[in-house]
Every structure is written in structure tokens, then in C-alpha cells.
Structure 1
Amino acid sequence: MQKRPKITELRFDRWADDLREWIKKSVSPFEDDTPEKQRERKARAEWDRLYFLKTYLPHYFSLPFEDFHEEWSELADIENEVVPLAAPREHAKSTFFTFGVPIHDIAYARKHFIMIVSDTNDQAKGFTLPIRVELEENVRLIHDFGEFKGRKWTDSDFTADGVRVLARGRGEKVRGLKNMQWRPDRVIVDDFENDENVRNPRLVKQGMDWLLQAVLGSLGEGYSFTMVGNKFASRSILAQFLSAKDEEGKALYPGKEYDAIREDGSPLWPELWPLERLEKRRRQMGTVRFNREMRNRVGAEESPIRESWVIYAPEIHVPRKLMVSAFLDPSGKGTETTDYKAIVVVGRDDETGGITDVLHAWLRHATVNEMWAMVWAIEAEFHCGMGVEINMFQDFLLDSYTNYAEKAGSYVNLHKVTHKTEKIARIVNRIAPLMEFGKLRFIKGHSDQDLLVEQLIYIMDANVNDDGPDALEGALSLNASGAVIDISRAPEKREAIMRREGVRPPGGFFGRFRNRTGMKEAVRP
């Protein structure tokens, strides 16, 4: 299929001609059509917006839809609410909301007055003009719905079959506008922010005030108000809409933000953005830029743990003696859909001035048995036991540990730790100074260390898991008072380890745990 023409330097007349030519080449009449087929097609397309888009606008919507497109259709129909939506670049959010939805509204007279709002009037016109040209040239739309052209027919303000479409830029007059007796009943805010204005608190406040006062105040009953875009920054207007809470702590606006990579690691839209393409784009852009554009993760520039502090050791030659410690964050529940289960192993070499290397990181959505399997594998590799946050170590985890140990025929020493201080402050206070002064290194591409680094950089983002940094902080804390481990020795027999470490077989009163202060639990500030 021929590619859609794009506007260049706001040359609207030439762009409109290119669009007309593209539509004529890309959209063919319905084949073997009958009045009955037409009735069935129109009846379904009225309530099934995705079917409408595929049927009448196939040159824009050629790829299979995903579940999130169904959600978008539902979000577009919410009335009398401000609906913010953040989605990745090149996932068709503007094509869907600012092109497809208005045309569907016009075809079935679902709305009376559609207003498209952008940073400037020319940017808004860049959305209204393609709608107008589509209504002029699309043979499928004209065949089923008739001619749309009204008496008012400009690039930025036209009436199509009784429905008015108007382009408006930031700060322009919106109060008192009507289409006959109707005030605007659909407003779509798109391309309203950019990299520059989101960094100016005065412009952010002005934009927010204008949207919530002038624009929202201009709408009629039953309105639909949708703002789509990228978050750009943690204090952008869209980000503030998405994070706003009411008096009960619930989301003030019924919006949603989307990540190009789902929680389970699969791509949001595999047909357009498979993981291979996403990974290539990440390498091209760098992690922080990629996360901002494709994952709606912002705030790295404001993070107390900076990307510039990350040091990668090209190759770690583990010395004969190393201060090694490991820590397990098992997450609060044993289900697949909760936080990452995390294990981090660190080693400190005092002969190098106390530089600590992350030797292994395991950050996964995993079953409890998979977690214990990794615990035993790390013990076999490093023979250092493992700290565990007892706050999260619930009874069912204790039982599953015992069951796994009995099947494995061996036990791993678990050093219980109870945290008393707020988690983020505890993580930042321990890790940030080490990274800032070059005392903590990572191995790029090793185990899950790249993910660990990403979680550290976005430690202040509530949408990014912090289980990896939590486990790293625990390992570093234990390392400060740990014992030197000779990692080159041969693994000891189970009986010898049990005698040396004070571990008893099942039935022993203290058989499951050991800590460095006898059997007293370690309580950390």
C-alpha cells in the first residue's frame, strides 16, 4: 500500500492535494455490494467502531487491532469526564482518537460539535484538514453515508452533514462557541505539549488552567473530553492529569497510560512493534529516551540516582577472596501478577578500595518454586547464604521454603532482616552515594542487571517496580558486615555446611534461619 503523505513546513494546500491522490489510489469501492450488505455493514459499524475503522478507513487501519484498541474505543465514549491517555509513539493514538473517532461521530451524527485542540492552530489544522479531505474523497464513506460537504468548508472550520469540526490552538477563544444551538460536545486535545513547554512551570500551569477553565467550561452536557499524547516529563499536564487523586485517594480522571512493553515482557502491539524492533529502537535512542517516548517513563532527569553515575565493568575478574552477600525480595504474594521477585548478589573487594560489583541479578515475575530454584542455584554458585526481608516473608513462603528444601535435600541459610524505615529513602541513601563516587559497578548484559539499572534510574516513578533496587540495598547492607568468602574453594558437603552454619534439619527449632547475632532477628533502621 502506498504510504500516507505527510505535511511539510505546514504547506496545507499541497498536502491536501497529496492526500486526495493517496485516498483515490488506496480506497476502492465495495465489491459486489447490495442494499442488504450495505444495511448490515452500516448497522454493525454504528456500534462497532473498530469495524467501522477497518471497513471505511482501511488505508489508515491496515494492521490487526489489539486489546488496547478496544479499550481506546471505550475510553473515547466516556461522557462528562476528562479522560487523559498516554500511549507510546507510533501506536496510532492520533490516528485513532483525532482522526478515526471524529469521522465515526460525523457518519452517525453521534456528536454535534467536535473541537480539536493543539499547541498551535496550525498543529490543530494538521488534524482537521485530513478529516475534511477524507470526507470529500473516500468513496466508501460517500457510498454509504452520502455527501458530507456543508456550506462552511475550510481547513480548520467546517460543517460535515450538520456536525461542526473546529481547530483551536492553545489560548485561543473557545468560550461561547456553538454549532447552531449546540456547544462543543467532543474535545480532543492532541499534540498540546512539547519538550520545551513541559519544562516551564509557568507554561504548564497556564496550559492546565486554560484546559480546565476555558475549554472544559465551554463544553455542553454529554461531552467527551480526551487528551492524548506522551507524558514528556513528570510535571507535564498529561502526567498531572494521570496522577491526580480525589479526596479518597482514587484517580480523579478515568484515564490510562500504556507501555510499549507489557508487564509480562510481551509487546503492546506485536504486529507493528515486535520485541526485536523495540530493542533496536532502544539501542538507537538510549534507555532513558526510549523509556520516555515508548514506555511513558519520565523523571530520570530528576532522579536521585542518575544514569550518568552508572558504571559498567567491561569484565569482572573475581579475586580469590571477595566479600559476597545476597538478598532476596520475595514480593508480597506468590502469584504471577504481583511485583518482581528479586535476588541480587554483590561482591566487595577491599584490595581495590572497596569497589563493589553486582555479580548477579534475578528480577522476574515468577512462581514461588521458580524463585526457590534460583535461590538454590545462587547458593551453589556463591555459598553465601541469603538475606530476606521478613516483612514480606509470610507463612506460606516459609512453608514453601521448607517443602522445597526437603525435596532438594539441602537448606540455604536465610538471614532475616526487618526494615523499619521508608523503602525509597532507604534505597536512595545507601545506593546513591556508592554510585555517585564510583564504588558500585554493574556488568552490562549480565543476568537481569540492565533491568536493575533501569529500576534504579526510575526509582521515583511509582509505575516502575522497585524490587530490584530493594534487593540490591539489602545485599549491600549485609555486605557491610559480612564475612570474606573464598569463592575458589570446592563446595562443601551438606553436613559440613550445616554444622558450620548452625542449620538443623526439619524439626529443629531454629532449623530454617540463621543470622549473624545468634538467633535474634536483625532489625535495621
Structure 2
Amino acid sequence: MTEQEKKEALKRWQEHCKRVERMTSQERVETEAERKRNIARALRDYDCFCQRYLSHYCQCPNAKFHNEAARYIASHPELRLVCKWPRGHAKSVHLDIGIPLWLKFRSELHVMVLVGKSEDSADGLLGDLQAELQYNQYIIRDFGEQYNSGMWQEGEFVTRDQCAFFSRGRGQSPRGLRFREIRPDYIVVDDLDDDEMCRSEARVREMTNWIKEALFGCFGGKDGRFIMVGNLISKNSVLQKIIDTPTVKTIEVNAIDRNGNPAWPEFYTIEKLRDREQFMGYRSFQKEYMNNPITEGAVFQERWIRWRPMLKLKYYEQIVLYIDPSWKSSGKNDYKAAAMIGRPKRGLKTASHRELHLLRAFCRQCSVGEMVRWLYDVYESLPEDAAVSIYMEANFMQDTILDEFQREGDARGYQLPIMPDKRKKPDKFARVEAISPLWERGYFFYNEKLKEDPDMRAGIDQTLAFEQGSRAHDDFPDASEGAIYKLQKQTREASFTPRLGVRRPPKNSW
């Protein structure tokens, strides 16, 4: 950091300190007896502590997982913990500021070390805690003056009651770090990983060793509270290496839980998170908010995505619309998918018979009813000279799903002609991987008119995210494979010419 950047950073910190002082200057309306009772309650209840002293940060109630993590940390003086939390879910506020302050005023924290990805980053994170101890008037009124003029500087300071706080950057030597005879009893490592480091296995390995040796060794003969916090941006990351270490407990929180609800409903609505996902794209959202980093191009690569104008439907020899409705008839966290793919007729000048064209796509987290309405709308939009075969895996053609089709059909006056796919499907990864050469060799094309269509983009994201063992949704590549299988099967059957004659017995037969 240059001298000019340091001056600007100091100015921002001073402005932040004034803001903290101003926002905590209001006198509380409470008697002395009430004040003592409220202090005692805040020291017992972390949520109450945040609302009383950190309301300028905690402008809405804590999430359940914030309070549970605080209670767990408080009840374990010696622990090795990873908080694998998503972006925008107050990781630094609670692990770097709220919980350390709570422990300090409970007399359970004496020497804290905060580690960031750089020295400047770590100093900035510790500076936020320093601002609370020096300028937060709520804290000063209830616990007394914390500022210690003789031992108060950037990157390390000691409060009047002799609690010490240090910051260190990634890889910066922490050896011998202690205050007088007291070694650290609270070490927090905040967002250590970045994309550049995660691309190097050697750097990740080196930094993991630094944490386990130099940093963890600061505890000395007696362990303290060791906490690492971040969202999982790569499988090759220090965070993942620490998670894989025996004796480490992991608290994993994803922005949207398995039931499709926000992990922090007091702050995020599901609509806000879905809107963010639509803007960021499926893969980026999974990485930043769902602790699910996806290796792009593990099977399908971005450069294989090809766009072209589609033909009129009468120029397709076969068109298959394949439906993958997922197992649940409703639910906000399940993707419903459908892929409509056509094979051009032979002899066309504008397209090869070997090509496959993705004409329409459906890829949404919605109810079966919404998907059924879309299917009927697409069917009704087809010209009379287009024949489309509609398939759905036989296992899905159960009462709960067929009821939705029947209700919509009754309302429209006809039933959608869906045929069951009775194929005994092999392993999904093997099936989808087997069709990837069509993309690689330039035979698969996407409808150019639908480049900005949300369903098409979501389907492409799922296709590029597809890889062995991934937790990413794969409903759309699965539906695409189903449609391609049916098209290829129809082509093989149409081109097969039976040969008649007398069958001769094979030589050397048994």
C-alpha cells in the first residue's frame, strides 16, 4: 500500500469512528437497576448483546446460525472450528467483532489474533474492532473506558484491562506472538483464500502448512479457540484443507437451505436471493452463496457453446421434447427442466442432418404446475406442419405429476400427448458425458433468438457445471441427454434395412 493509499485508508477509518461514536451516543432510558439487569442479560444472550451494543451493524435480528455459533464458541474454550458461511451473511461482523467483544466482556478472551489475506486487509479488519472499543459509547458507559493511550496503534493494541489484539497478514510470521506471559486464546482466520491462490496447489499447500504450524503454534501448550471463516470458493483451497483435517468441526450455512428457504430470513427474502442468482448466473451464485464451487468445463466447455438461427419447424426431420420434472411435485429448491431438440432433414443447404438444434428450453426452480403450463403453451404455439414427440421418464409418470397435466388439460380441452420413456437408464454421469462429443465436434447448436432467455441461460449454466461428484443441479443436461437419445434411436430405426436370407450356422459352433 502506497503512502497515499494509507492516508486515504486512515481517513476512511476516522470517518467510520465518528460514525460509530455518533450512532451510539444516544442515552438509554433505563434505571441503574435496569441497566445492570440488561448488561447481565446481554452477557448471557449473544443476540441481546448485539442488539444492545452493535445495533449499527445488526440492523435486523441475528440469524439463528449466528447465535448458535456464538453459543458453541462460548461453550468450548478449546476448539478448532470452520464457519463455512456464504457471502453477505455477516461473517466478519460476528467472528471478528461481535463474538470477540462478547467473550472479552465475559472475561473469556485475553489475547486475540486476526489473520487476513494481506497485512493491510488484516489491519483493516482489526481496525473495525478497535473502533468499537475506542468510540462505541454504549460499550464505554457499561464497561468503562477501553482506550489505552500508551498501547494503541494500527495492527496491535492493548485495552486498559490488559486484553491484547494483534493482526497478521497471510504468511506473515506470528512466531512468538503473545502479550507478556499470555499467549493467544482466540485466533480467527478471515477469508484467507482468493481465486489466484486457489489455482496453485503448491501455494494452497504452503499456506495450509503455515496455518497448522506457525499460526496454530501460537497457542503454546494449551489450545484456545481457533476459528477459520469464509465461503468455499474452490475445492483446492486452504479452507477445504482445514475442513478435511481430523478434529475440526465445520458449521456449514448456505444462503438457501435444502427446503428452499433463506438461511437468514430476517435479512434476505427468497425473491431477493433468486434475483441475485439470476443476475450472477448459476455457477457464480453456487460458488459465492452456496459453498459449491464448480469447475467450469470439466465435461462441457464454454467455447463449445454455439449459436445459430433455427430453421422453420417443418424442415426438421424429428423433434423431441423431453421433460425432467424432478421428484417433488412442488418446492422452491428443485429444478424442473425440459429440452426441445430437433434434427434437420437430409439434403438441406442451410443445415446438416448431423446437427442437433436446441429449439426451446425450460429450466426453473418452480412447481410442476408452472412447468406444465409452459409445456402446454409451447405445444399450442407449434405450427400444424410440425410434429413433436413428447417424452417423460416412466418413473416420473406417477399420480402426483400426471394430476397436474390432467388438470391443465381439462382446462384447455385436450390432454398433452406424453409418452413414457421406459429405458433402463445407466449412470447419469456416463450418459451425459457420452453426448459431450456432439458439443466438442460442433454438431450441437443453441437457438440464437434465445440468447438472453433466462431458461436457456440457466440450462447452459447447468451444462457447463456438470461434473462427476458435483452438488450442482443437473436436471437440464439430463433432459437434453433424454431428448438426444430418443432422436438418435429414431434415426437408427429409420435407417435400418433388414436383410433376408438363409442363416448359416457359424463355424466351430458348439
TM-score category (smaller protein): 0.7 to 0.9
Q: Does 1:345 align with 2:340?
A: yes
User: The residue matched to 2:121 in structure 1 has which SS?
Assistant: helix
* Alpha-carbon separation, structure 2, partners of 1:114 and 1:322: 71
* Alpha-carbon separation, structure 1, partners of 2:374 and 2:293: 32
Moved more, 70-79 or 434-443: 70-79
* Alpha-carbon separation, structure 2, partners of 1:400 and 1:89: 37
Conserved in 1, the CA contact under 8 Å of 2:253 and 2:263? Answer: no
1:100 counterpart residue number: 98
Moved more, 78-87 or 55-64: 78-87
Moved more, 30-39 or 285-294: 285-294
User: The residue matched to 2:5 in structure 1 has which SS?
Assistant: coil
1:472 counterpart residue number: 480
1:452 counterpart residue number: 459
Structure 1 residue 452 displacement after superposition: 1.5
Conserved in 2, the CA contact under 8 Å of 1:267 and 1:275? Answer: no
Structure 2 unmatched runs, 5+ = 493-510
Distance 1:316 1:70, change over 3 A: farther
Moved more, 38-47 or 400-409: 400-409
2:250 counterpart residue number: 254
Distance 1:31 1:192, change over 3 A: same
1:508 counterpart residue number: none
Structure 1 residue 149 displacement after superposition: 3.6
Conserved in 2, the CA contact under 8 Å of 1:75 and 1:83? Answer: no
1:441 counterpart residue number: 446
Moved more, 215-224 or 128-137: 215-224
* Alpha-carbon separation, structure 2, partners of 1:59 and 1:17: 16
Structure 1 residue 134 displacement after superposition: 1.8
* Alpha-carbon separation, structure 2, partners of 1:8 and 1:33: 46
* Alpha-carbon separation, structure 1, partners of 2:128 and 2:359: 55
Q: Residue type of the partner of 2:484?
A: L
1:419 counterpart residue number: 425
* Alpha-carbon separation, structure 2, partners of 1:41 and 1:280: 39
* Alpha-carbon separation, structure 2, partners of 1:402 and 1:16: 61
2:224 counterpart residue number: 223
Distance 1:319 1:224, change over 3 A: farther
2:118 counterpart residue number: 120
Q: 1:373-416, CA deviations, whole angstroms, 9 ceiling, x for partnerless residues?
A: 777776666764444445xx27xx54546767777685632121
Moved more, 117-126 or 370-379: 370-379
- CA root-mean-square deviation: 4.0
1:517 counterpart residue number: none
Structure 1 residue 459 displacement after superposition: 1.3
Q: Does 1:188 align with 2:188?
A: yes
Moved more, 212-221 or 91-100: 212-221
Moved more, 464-473 or 401-410: 401-410
User: The residue matched to 1:425 in structure 2 has which SS?
Assistant: helix
User: The residue matched to 1:418 in structure 2 has which SS?
Assistant: coil
Q: Does 1:324 align with 2:330?
A: no
Conserved in 1, the CA contact under 8 Å of 2:112 and 2:187? Answer: yes
Distance 1:320 1:256, change over 3 A: same
Q: Does 1:233 align with 2:238?
A: no
Q: 1:335-383, CA deviations, whole angstroms, 9 ceiling, x for partnerless residues?
A: 7377534332222224411432333333455566776777777666676
* Alpha-carbon separation, structure 1, partners of 2:313 and 2:192: 52
Q: Residue type of the partner of 2:94?
A: F
Q: 1:460-479, CA deviations, whole angstroms, 9 ceiling, x for partnerless residues?
A: 37232112211211111111
User: The residue matched to 1:129 in structure 2 has which SS?
Assistant: helix
Q: Residue type of the partner of 2:215?
A: V
2:139 counterpart residue number: 141
How many residues matched?
Answer: 467
Structure 1 residue 454 displacement after superposition: 1.5
* Alpha-carbon separation, structure 2, partners of 1:133 and 1:9: 20
Same amino acid, percent of matched pairs: 24
Pick from 45, 59, 62: which aligns with 1:62?
Answer: 59
* Alpha-carbon separation, structure 2, partners of 1:35 and 1:261: 43
Q: Residue type of the partner of 1:50?
A: D
Distance 1:314 1:40, change over 3 A: farther
Q: 1:455-513, CA deviations, whole angstroms, 9 ceiling, x for partnerless residues?
A: 112213723211221121111111112379xxxxxxxxxxxxxxxxxxxxxxxxxxxxx
* Alpha-carbon separation, structure 1, partners of 2:401 and 2:58: 51
* Alpha-carbon separation, structure 2, partners of 1:216 and 1:15: 32
Q: Does 1:10 align with 2:17?
A: no
1:206 counterpart residue number: 206
1:502 counterpart residue number: none
* Alpha-carbon separation, structure 1, partners of 2:4 and 2:85: 24
Q: 1:393-446, CA deviations, whole angstroms, 9 ceiling, x for partnerless residues?
A: 27xx545467677776856321212122x3223213313542662623153354
Structure 1 residue 212 displacement after superposition: 2.5
Distance 1:71 1:341, change over 3 A: farther
* Alpha-carbon separation, structure 2, partners of 1:335 and 1:281: 20
2:39 counterpart residue number: 42
Conserved in 2, the CA contact under 8 Å of 1:198 and 1:204? Answer: yes
Map 1:273-288; keep pairs closer than 5 Å: 275=271, 279=275, 283=279
User: The residue matched to 2:21 in structure 1 has which SS?
Assistant: helix
